[in-house]
Amino acid sequence: MFFDELMPILRELSQQPLAFMGGFVSGVLRLDLNDDPVRSWLGQQTGTSPASSTTNESHNGKSGPQSISID
């Protein structure tokens, strides 16, 4: 019973142990993969450049909070 519920986890652990443990540790430490140190490190490991952050881009040519009106 309990062993049947653990089978998918054990299967992933046996197929890709390094990736599984990396995901497990990042979950335990509550690391956000979009934060700069982790994102740049992942980019170096995979050989790809990290995507640019959209938080610094302006919206419709305006920066700062936007006001809306609700009728």
Tokens of 14: 């046996």
- Residue 45: the pLDDT is 74
Q: How many residues does the chain have?
A: 71
- What confidence tens digit (pLDDT) does each residue in 19-61 have? 788 888 888 988 777 777 777 877 777 776 555 544 444 445 5
Decide if 25 contacts 19 (C-beta within 8 A).
no
- Residue 61: the pLDDT is 59
In angstroms and rounded to an integer, the radius of gyration of the C-alpha atoms of the chain is: 20
Q: Using the predicted structure, report yes or no on whether residue 17 has a pLDDT greater than 80.
A: yes
